[in-house]
Structures are given as C-alpha cells and as structure tokens.
Amino acid sequence: KAGVTQTPRYLIKTRGQQVTLSCSPISGHRSVSWYQQTPGQGLQFLFEYFSETQRNKGNFPGRFSGRQFSNSRSEMNVSTLELGDSALYLCASSLAGAEGNTIYFGEGSWLTVV
C-alpha cells in the first residue's frame, strides 16, 4: 500500500508570493492533517480535514488555509509568504479521528522563502 505522498518535495519562493502544497493520503484514509516543522518551534499542528470538512485548526494566521477533496486528497495554501514561513510542511493521514492517534506522515515539502 502506497504511503502518504506530498508534492512538491522542495521549493523556493519569494516573500509576498503564495504557495500551494499537495498531499495524497494512504488509500482508504479519510483524515488528513497538516503540520509545520521548524528548528525553533518544532512540530506544530496547522489543521485537519475529514470528509472535506475542516475539523480542527491550530494557532496559525489566516494566511494558512487548506482544503480536502472528495477523494481525500488535500492541499494547503500559504499566501503572502514571509521569511518565517520557511519550514518543512508535513501531511499526515489516518483512517478516522482519534483511532489511537496513529497518524502516518509523508516525507514533507521543504519550503524556503527568500
């Protein structure tokens, strides 16, 4: 069974631009969550989608948004990029909510903002 797939793996953007990251969950998984990882702040929860609905949202500004499609694939968007948005963005999927909190991460998208 294929794992969580994220694209693109690496990207460089300029301040003020926007970026869209894509995530394909493990087949059959309906919950997709997004995390940001930085050396300073660690792993932080961005948001979680289940059946195309945002179920939870972390403490991030409105520039960070996401959506989920009917096939469970998800995208996240960051608008008006800032230098501090440089991070590893991780997508994770699971069958449903709170099932042992076992979530499976993709390899991540490395975003550098210059």
Partner 1 sequence: GQSLEQPSEVTAVEGAIVQINCTYQTSGFYGLSWYQQHDGGAPTFLSYNALDGLEETGRFSSFLSRSDSYGYLLLQELQMKDSASYFCAGGNAGNMLTFGGGTRLMVKP
* Residues at the site binding partner 1, with contacts judged by CB under 8 A: 31, 33, 35, 42-45, 48, 50, 55-56, 58, 90, 92, 94, 97-98, 100-108
Neighbour tally for 98: CB within 10 Å: 7
Nearer to partner 1 (CB atom), residue 14 or residue 28: 28
CB 113 within 8 A of CB 101: no
Closest distance to partner 1 from the beta carbon of 70 (Å): 19
Local structure of 82: helix, strand or coil: coil
Closest distance to partner 1 from the beta carbon of 26 (Å): 12
Nearer to partner 1 (CB atom), residue 28 or residue 100: 100
Nearest to 99 by CA among 46, 62, 60, 50: 50
Is the bond into 39 cis (omega within 30 degrees of 0)? no
Nearer to partner 1 (CB atom), residue 84 or residue 97: 97
Nearer to partner 1 (CB atom), residue 14 or residue 101: 101
Local structure of 11: helix, strand or coil: strand
Closest distance to partner 1 from the beta carbon of 77 (Å): 20
